[in-house]
Every structure is written in C-alpha cells, then in structure tokens.
Amino acid sequence: MERFCLSLDDEQLRDKMYYSIKGSGAFQRFRDNIHMHGIEKDWFEFRKQWLHTIATEWCESNELEFE
C-alpha cells in the first residue's frame, strides 16, 4: 500500500493516501480512499504487478523456473 501511495503522480492525492495508511484503521481508510478517488483499478493493477515482481524475484533467487 505504501509503494502504491508513493507512486501516485498527484501530490495532494499521494499525501492523502500515504497518511491514510498510518495507524489504527489504515486498511479501511485506504479502501475508502481508493473508492472515493476512483483509483481502485489502479490499485489492483499495481498490486498485481508488484506481486508478480515479488514472485519472479523469489523464483530467480531460488533458481526455480517460472512462466
């Protein structure tokens, strides 16, 4: 979530999203904000790509083939 927030181009939105993930209730605030600002698709695409990167790097570091 932090990487996504920091990747946003709009400085005001980036700051709002970043500070929304701090402290208790962070997940709910994040979810509310992505819906409020219409960036759900951006979040899910970012998350998908990031998870792919993590999995790819893990496979490579463990010398495993992947598709």
28-54 pLDDT per residue, tens: 999 999 999 999 999 999 999 999 999
Per-residue pLDDT band for 66 (boundaries 50, 70, 90) equals confident
Domain residue limits, the chain: 2-61
The pLDDT value given to residue 23: 95
For residues 2-9, average pLDDT: 97
**67 pLDDT more than 90:** no
CB-neighbour burial class of residue 18 (10 A; exposed 0-12, middle 13-18, buried 19+): middle
Q: What is the mean pLDDT of the chain?
A: 95
Q: Give the integer Cα–Cα distance in Å for 23 and 41.
A: 24
